Amino acid sequence: MAAPKLTPLQATEARRQAEALAKANKVARVYSDEEKAARKERVAKAKDALARSVGIKGDHVAGARAALKTYLQKLNEPKQPDDAQFEALVQAPFTVPPKKKANDRRF
């Protein structure tokens, strides 16, 4: 049997109740001192990279700064970049991407 089709109001109410139930059953995660220290260090590096990249010009800088800001906004989400990805993220505003070779073979 298929579930009865809900009206938009009923769907919204059901979603709200499900979120409230999930929030009530949520277990608080305990972070170790090592995890806290690593997180503080990453935040400091990301903020430093943002501060240093203010005056840099280039097409790649805006995207790299946006990625750093997004990283800082999503700190509490469970999926975080590994160390290599994070270092690339921090160095992105300062490294100029290689220029694409033009495939122009005109004689």
Question: Rounded to an integer, what distance in angstroms lies between the CA atom of residue 80 and that of residue 74?
Answer: 8
Quote the number of domains for the chain.
1
Q: Is residue 43 part of a domain?
A: yes
In a domain, 11, yes or no: no
Whether 44 maps to a domain, the answer reads yes
Assess if residue 85 is contained within a domain: yes
Buried/exposed 59-79: b ≥16 CB within 10 Å, e otherwise: eebeebbebbeebeeeeeeee
Q: What is the pLDDT of residue 88?
A: 92
For the chain (length 107 residues), average pLDDT per consecutive 10?
A: 79 90 79 90 95 89 93 88 92 84 69
Instruction: Tell me, yes or no, whether 77 lies in a domain.
Output: yes
Domain containing 65 equals 32-97
- Could you give the CA distance from residue 90 to residue 84 in angstroms, rounded to a whole number? 10
Q: Sign of dihedral through CA atoms 41, 59, 79, 77? A: positive
